[in-house]
A and B are shown apart, each in its own frame.
Chain A
Amino acid sequence: MSGRMVHHYIPNSSPETLKMMLDEMRLNSIDELYTDIPDRVRLRGRLNIPKAMSEYEVERHVEELLLRNKTVFDAPCFLGGGCWPHYVPAAVEMVVGRSEFATSYTPYQAEVSQGILQALFEYQSMICELTEMDYSNSSMYDWATALGEAARMARRVTGRNEIITPYYMDPHRASTLKVYSEPAGMKVLTCTQDPVTGQIVVEKLQEMITSQTAAVYVENPSYLGFFEKQIDLISDLAHDKGGLLIVGVDPISLGVVKPPGEYGADIVVGEGQPLGNHMNYGGPSLGIFACSGDRLLRQMPGRIVGLTSTLEGGDEAYCLVHQTREQHIRRERATSNICTNEALCAVAAAVYLSLLGPEGLRRLCETIMVKSHYAMKIMNSIDGVKTPIFEAPHFKEFTVNFKDTGRRVDEIHRRLLDRGIQAGKVLKEYPELGEAALYCVTEVHTKEMIDSLADNIREILR
């Protein structure tokens, strides 16, 4: 029995209390409560885990380990590709740090959970406003899993088995899509994109869309940062043959960019991390999932919060709705197995969007576009460097080709890192693009950081 040590997270481990409780139960030791675990399966000896450390020692130890990390502020970083550096206002951190939210569970008991329920309702409402869609759930794990679930949903709604995706897609997202759709008997088809403009080759797409097409998936902006300009046409093509249009978005761009609801998207997915969530080495993230039309609502995965009233008195109140789709009621016939989602990240997004409002978001979008275009212009002025590779409008990310410098992008990036600059992501997955990398510039990149990036590239190439 290990009751001799008093543990500070275990109040009844004090000898007095422990004895009182055991006496009351007429037991001599806690061991007697484990007689139902047969000897044959009992662990021999102790777990090989280090002894407890004091809180002070833990803090020292962890901080020492974390010092081995370089943050994007220790070394300016131009990485995007599914996770992006954005500023998180202090007020967002303060709200999501409140332990009433942080230490609560899924709000099954609505009467004591009005706070998180209302915050999630407001999140859903803001996502609907941003995307111009009818319904939003209260979050998925991330963009990739939201896309996976969207594909499966398209299959349920249409009874068809194919989803068509763009060629230029985040390899993580593409892999996750496959892992989600294949077990449902779905095939993922890839549509050609024009090597000069990056735009989907509509004639090819038209040939691919058949009576087996559950959905066409388009990203705006795309993984490589450019916009698809023919979205209205693509939307019509998908719908004409009875398929759905799934659109992937960077929600922060929707302050100025045409929302998917305006061009007939049926399902919108995206990554909500830019909305008030830190990068945290890639997680937690926030999967956005919205749809339009009652037919789709009934097939939507995940939790949804609704506005209702109290039984007496008629006060407005919130609770989880439509739970009959969910796994705890429908079990193997559920729309999805998701239950724990990313609620606190969704709350962060709601606080973030409330702080910025339409005007703040518009200004932020413009800052991002100006800075990223400035970066492109200034990098383009370097001999042999070409950016962007694709002739299309861009938002915050852009491709850079170093092929004409006669140097390898890997080597240039390694030398930049030696100089304390973390450059973009090398696009190994698309060798046909040349010595290419994906760069990201947002509001956190000062002019000095961008200038210094360009100056250093220039020096390295000299």
Chain B
Amino acid sequence: MSYRQARWSEPSIFTISSEGRIGHNPPQPDSEEVKMSGAPSTLLPPELRRSKPPELPELSEVEVVRHYVRLTQMNFGVDTGTYPLGSCTMKYNPKICDKLSSSPKIRDIHPLQDESTTQGILKILYDLSEMLEEITGMSRFSLQPAAGAHGEYTGALIIRAYHAANGEGDKRREMLIPDSAHGTNPASAAMAGFKTVIIPTSSSGYLDLDAVKSVVSKHTAGLMLTNPNTLGIFERNILEISEIVHSAGGLLYYDGANMNAILGKTRPKEMGFDIVHLNLHKTFGTPHGGGGPGAGPVGVVEKLEDFLPVPLISREGDRYFLDYDRPRSIGKVKSFYGNIAVLLRAYIYILCLGCEGLEAASEHSVLNANYLARKILQGGKYTIPYYPDRLVKHEFVLSAEEIYRETGVRAWDISKRLLDYGIHSPTTYFPQIVEEALMVEPTETESKESLDHLVYAMNMVAEEAYSNPPTLKKAPHSTSKGRVDEAKASHPETMCLSWRMKRRFMSGK
């Protein structure tokens, strides 16, 4: 497959601006309204008035549309091609979810409307919570967190509130986190006021029980873990880990980033977890929007229900309502009730797949990952730590260490060259415990043919590393732009973060 991305030389929207144009005419007030209210200029005292208009671009509608359409054409999405971005789980987003969630019947609802006028969406949110409860085994969910990391922060606050309620708030200040964890885990724990204690991954690829035992103490507030872990390996000792943490009085937090691998096979509850967050775009196929909006609902076991953020969505007979009457709640983690348009998509996704489809999704994500791992390994150029001694689940980590040692070509160069094959790069240099890491997650929605193409591309790139390293060092070649100078972008002398900074540069400051 040859690939070429659109290459518009699309200038900044500020440079195509032309004085006096307008792209949208807002409604004008009725003359009687003006007569009664007074002229606009009289409604704001001079000290509150803007001295000069904001320097926004001036364009007609067609110019704005062409500009942004050209930009979309210079952007890679799941709908463009294979997106094996490990741990980010970029699966196909069913179109019916977008179609239904753009209904005015959801878009044009105000969050403070009387509950009698929002029974439809409240029922949907209530039913979605119940489905998430069933999928994870937790007893109650809050749909409020706006993203996975936001869910983590919420979970960490719940852990904090639980220990405080037991009179152990001052004592239990440590959060245990494996060194292979997503960066959000330690960041969220630290934000919630915990000291993070890092557990090193053992040479087995599993979390080492002795290592867990050695860090657990009466100061342990909890342990944050994803399972399968970021190497794609299922922690088989999870019950022992859970036992160690629980018997020391700590709680077990499940980072749901890798939940797509185990739907219907096991649940956080069966594994002994107390708190779960789910990234809806990873597990339930909602689009990622170039970095959001997301949704990171949090579920908990019964003893933690009281601490969930307000309001929860509750039900009395056929009537659904926003339940604020929860005196032990941690409070609110954002305004209103969550990213509703995303939650609605997840609900629709679950209905479309049903129980069997959800299980099939995880089965095929695991099948695709193992198929891919095996085929890439056959090429002989990459290694996969612990594989094939350990099965992988829905993702795996390739190491390009050997290629780097022998040719000087780095994982970063390989990533860039893959773009020329129409494949989005895998996650590069994560987890940090693997040298020259490329983290690959094909997901269940890639066909065998696209997996085979990925294998072909990986092999070709490996070959090129030996035969023609400059091609890799200068890759990509067929994308909208050649390799971007990221160092310059972050250098204090050359950093340019807005059009006003650019204007200053152009005028010599």
Contacts and interface: CB of A to CB of B under 8 A. Distances in A.
Contacts of B23: 89, 91, 354-357, 360
The 8 A-B pairs of least Cβ separation, nearest first, read A282-B336, A282-B111, A52-B354, A115-B75, A68-B120, A344-B289, A284-B293, A343-B291
17 contacts: A24-B371, A41-B238, A62-B347, A68-B119, A109-B424, A129-B499, A134-B500, A145-B150, A282-B335, A306-B495, A308-B486, A331-B187, A334-B187, A341-B291, A343-B293, A363-B25, A374-B33
B26 to A, nearest CB: 4
Given A172-B332, A257-B44, A374-B29, A69 B482 contact: no
Output the residue of A34, A115, A170, A285 with the most chain B CB within 10 A.
Answer: A115
Contacts of A172: 332, 334-336
A315 B153 CA distance: 40
B485 A311 contact: yes
B303 interface: no
Interface string B92-103: 111010111011
Interface residues of B, number: 215
Specify the main secondary structure of chain B where it touches its partner. loop
B1 interface: no
B106 A340 contact: no
Contacts, number: 742
Interface stretch (B263-271, B398-406, B457-465): B263-271
Contacts of B434: none
Contacts of B263: 47
B354 A69 contact: no
Nearest to A376: B37
Size bin of chain A's contact surface: 35 or more
Interface string A111-123: 1111110111110
B107 interface: yes
Given A47-B264, A122-B12, A307-B489, A111 B36 contact: no
B110 A128 contact: no
A185 B336 contact: no
B33 A119 contact: no
B69 A98 contact: yes
Interface string A86-116: 0101010111011111111111111111111
Interface string B9-31: 11011100100111111111110
B113 A79 contact: yes
Contact of B187 (A42, A98, A337): A337
A256 B336 CA distance: 28
Interface in A2-31: 2-3, 5, 7, 9-13, 17-18, 20-22, 24-25, 30
A393 interface: yes
A200 interface: no
Given A59-B96, A283-B293, A355-B24, A65 B147 contact: no
Contacts of A17: 447-448
A95 B483 contact: no
B222 interface: no
Contacts of B288: 102-106, 340
B479 interface: yes
Interface string A314-338: 0101111111101111111110111
A110 B481 contact: yes
